[in-house]
Structure 1
Amino acid sequence: MSSLRLIDNTANPAPLGLLGFGMTTVLLNIHNAGYYELNTMILAMGIFYGGMAQIIAGIMEWKKNNTFGTTAFTSYGLFWLTLVGLLLMPSLGLGTATSKVAFAAYFFMWGLFTFVMFIGTLRINRALQVVFLTLTILFFLLAARDYFGSAAIGTLAGYEGIICGLSAIYAALAQVLNEVYKKVVLPLGPV
């Protein structure tokens, strides 16, 4: 009696999700660091690349039976969509603007979630550990900025967020290049 063996030969969705997250994070945090205003470029990236592309990557991770990837990409995709919603809904007459204290609670909860996800990365690789650790720090800095009303903390968060986003871009492109060249071109630091 022969046994049936299924082989998963679908593409790795992680680079798509990491690039959607990383590029959107860098662009938003250049704003947070004070280099340009909050504009439609950031909002569009938040909806389409940070939001929708990550949700698609999360669904693809589900198909690959990756609970961590599914949870991370789908959650952060929905983070971007909720953030854009919080910023745009009041101007559309859909509720009142979110207070700074409420934004602090929002970012704190995302920081708490991200810290727990960081613990999960301790079993994956060093590149993702950097992404999730810097993202945890970023969310807590953003919460502190809004809670204390500190422009200095906001600027610091901007620079820290740029580092976070660049680390996600590195992790994504390392996976793409390593797969294309079938060798380690850019190390991910396996655990």
Structure 2
Amino acid sequence: MAKQELTQQISPVETVSKKVSEAAAFAETVIKDTTANPAPLGLMGFGLTTILLNLHNIGLFGLGSMILSMGIFYGGIAQIIAGIMEWKKKNTFGTVAFISYGFFWITLVGLIVFPKFGFAEAPDATAMASFLFFWGFFTLILFLGTFKMNYTMIAIFGSLTVLFFLLAVGDMTGNHTIKIIAGYEGVLCGALAVYAGAAQILNEIYGREVLPLGTIE
């Protein structure tokens, strides 16, 4: 009789626990990601800043506060914000790419500004070439991952890899012609990123493929 009473006392607790577990499992299945797509922000921040810097490399205008500000705020901070948002969406590639290139732009501004304030010496040609080369190597790793995405992303990261290596060679050799070639190639790379950002914005707004990204079958 005592054993039966104990069973009766435990049974309601077990029932409540089971219902709580079932409710938790149900809640987990109905939660949906309602946050916006951060990729267009990161792509636009990267693309526009890249275009402007490489218009400077071509020789259209000097390296003034406009490019430095873009490097800090839009190419830098905006991409970092996009990368953090990609992290919340469990997108490893987007997180690594946007946060890395966001800090690349801020680092680049630091390389230009710090020596002017006497914080550190300006990098010589070898140091700058090494900096650009290893960013090219990093980009090459990401480029290999784009073959599972779409043809636009392949073009962006392929051209960016070439851009970094061209800039590294240009700094190492001091060849002005290579830097100009890199400038035109960089404008193309930035334009591709802007296109990808625009495609994702417009395709989402219109609910159809306005600008194709080149889906890989």
- Structure 1 equivalent of residue 51 of structure 2: 26
Structure 1 Cα separation of the partners of residues 155 and 196 of structure 2:
9
- Structure 2 equivalent of residue 189 of structure 1: 214
- Structure 2 equivalent of residue 111 of structure 1: 136
- Structure 2 equivalent of residue 60 of structure 1: 85
1:139-160 deviation digits (Å, cap 9, x = unpaired):
0000000011110000000000
Aligned-pair CA distance for 1:190: 1.6
Question: In the alignment, residue 188 of structure 2 is paired with which amino acid?
Answer: I
Aligned-pair CA distance for 1:114: 0.3
Aligned-pair CA distance for 1:61: 0.3
Gaps of 5+ in 1: none
Q: Among 122, 125, 129, which residue is 2:147 paired with?
A: 122
Structure 2 Cα separation of the partners of residues 103 and 128 of structure 1:
27
Structure 2 Cα separation of the partners of residues 116 and 185 of structure 1:
30
Which secondary structure does the structure 1 equivalent of 2:105 belong to?
A: helix
- Structure 1 equivalent of residue 113 of structure 2: 88
Structure 2 Cα separation of the partners of residues 47 and 100 of structure 1:
23
Aligned-pair CA distance for 1:9: 1.3
1:9-30 deviation digits (Å, cap 9, x = unpaired):
1100000000000000000000
Aligned-pair CA distance for 1:119: 0.6
Which secondary structure does the structure 2 equivalent of 1:122 belong to?
A: helix
Mapped pair 1:141 → 2:141: no
Query: What's the C-alpha RMSD, in Å, of the aligned pairs?
Result: 0.7
Structure 1 Cα separation of the partners of residues 191 and 140 of structure 2:
19
Aligned-pair CA distance for 1:7: 0.8
* Runs of 4+ with >3 A deviation: none
Structure 2 Cα separation of the partners of residues 57 and 177 of structure 1:
18
Q: How many residues align?
A: 191
Mapped pair 1:11 → 2:36: yes
- The structure that has the greater radius of gyration is 2
- Structure 1 equivalent of residue 180 of structure 2: 155
Gaps of 5+ in 2: 1-21
Structure 2 Cα separation of the partners of residues 80 and 186 of structure 1:
28
Question: In the alignment, residue 88 of structure 2 is paired with which amino acid?
Answer: K
TM-score scaled by structure 1? 0.98
Structure 2 Cα separation of the partners of residues 52 and 126 of structure 1:
27
Which secondary structure does the structure 2 equivalent of 1:19 belong to?
A: helix
Aligned-pair CA distance for 1:129: 0.7
1:15-61 deviation digits (Å, cap 9, x = unpaired):
00000000000000000011111111000000000000000000000
